[in-house]
Amino acid sequence: MIRSNNGYFGEFGGRFVPEILLPALTELEDLFFELRDDPAFWQEYLTLTQEFSGRPTPLTPLRRLSEQLGGAQIWLKREDLNHSGAHKINNVLGQGLLVQRMGKKRVIAETGAGQHGLATAIMSAKLGLEATIYMGADDIERQYSNVFWMRQLGANVVGVETGSRTLKEALDEALRDWAASVETTHYVLGTACGPAPFPELVSYFQSVISQEIKQQSMTQIGRLPDEVVACVGGGSNAMGAFSAFLEDSDVKLVGIEAGGLSLEDGQHSVRLLKGTGEPGIAQGYKTLFLQNEDGQLGETHSIAAGLDYVGVSPILAHLSQTGRVTPDSSSDTEVTDAFQLLMKTEGIIPAMESAHALAGGFKRAKTMNKDQHMVINLSGRGDKDIFNIARAFPQRDWTEFLQREAERSTDQINEHLATEIAG
């Protein structure tokens, strides 16, 4: 498990927040540092994930697809089979245990694809907490099924209309809320970003993924994999997949970012590749951000809402800078191709975020030998992406329906869905 140096990972990380937030961050850091090396706490966390979210998730061989590609043997780490459909539940359950110890009754969160918001709403319902979820207005439109379920679970979902109306603005609004309610509220940050100790804390809870990959690989493959591949938005699923292998130099770690439409400004969400992200300080920490000529945060694009973010985990920025993590990207077209290939060859429906890792992994696997093994972290399932997929792969049966739904307001869609489910 990677450890920070006073909140820093190389030159990245830190804590750049209003003074009002410092006591809450210090309280959280002190509690986390007290518990992170306690075997009893880790076992309590593991038991909760096993009893409630279904861990351990399986390591699934893609035998037909591997044979078709003709290269390495590909395995999927099935985080899509978690309760809530993604890896996000790992982190929120861990932070829920911390909230109980702090005695706070309200939580807030930001979300892009909606999976973290959904996981936070589920955790809050289970533990009896009040939840407010901030989500960009554009992401609400792209991921409305998750918004519907968050509200049914009792969470207050707040649409953010400013700026690009995506994850960056949702995170800003969540920080503003926390500054105004810090004494009674815990911020359940969803990815390995933000002010210390969040990057290290989120990576700690998500490290259960790579710990299981390591154990399962030894049992099912007979040795460690040659490569581990994960998509990179903020960085939580990638850090989850990579953490246990950081000292295993023979295991290559590959992070796949959203190449979008092109590498022109505003057309992608690539921060780790040379010539894209630049060091900067925003949203409480220092990392690589997409920036314009004036040094302001730049515009982003991704077909996947969960990868549509202007920054990246300071841990991944450091690991990429030092060469331990190899960055790459997948374009929207490559992603939709990989999505279809996995579905039609193996019968698994991935999230669009995860399909970035699939696209990058499939390209790499073709260049490898048949006796080599690659594990791709399937961070989530594709239920939430049904409307985006329908638009990407237009079919006659969907055309009229999508046109009709596009004309509905958010409230009308909510009422329509409620009626359909009730009826």
* Catalytic sites, residue numbers: 88, 110, 379
164 in Cβ contact with 310 (< 8 Å): no
Classify 250 in phi/psi space as left (phi over 0), alpha (psi -120 to 50) or beta.
alpha
311 in Cβ contact with 288 (< 8 Å): yes
Distance (Å, whole) CA 307 – CA 354 = 10
The backbone torsions φ and ψ at residue 389, rounded to the nearest 5 degrees and listed phi first, read -65, -40
121 in Cβ contact with 96 (< 8 Å): no
Distance (Å, whole) CA 351 – CA 374 = 19
**E strand or H helix that includes residue 48:** helix 39-48
DSSP letter string, 189-256: --SS-SSTTHHHHHHHHHTHHHHHHHHHHHHHTSS--SEEEEE-SSSHHHHHHHGGGTT-TTSEEEEE
* Parallel, antiparallel or unpaired: strands 106-111 and 130-136: parallel
User: Which among 98, 303, 347 has a CA at the least distance from the CA of 204?
Assistant: 98
**E strand or H helix that includes residue 410:** helix 410-422
Distance (Å, whole) CA 287 – CA 279 = 5
| Torsion, Cα of 357, 360, 361, 367 (10° steps) | 180
Provide the sign of the torsion angle of the four alpha carbons 64, 69, 75, 76, taken in this order: negative
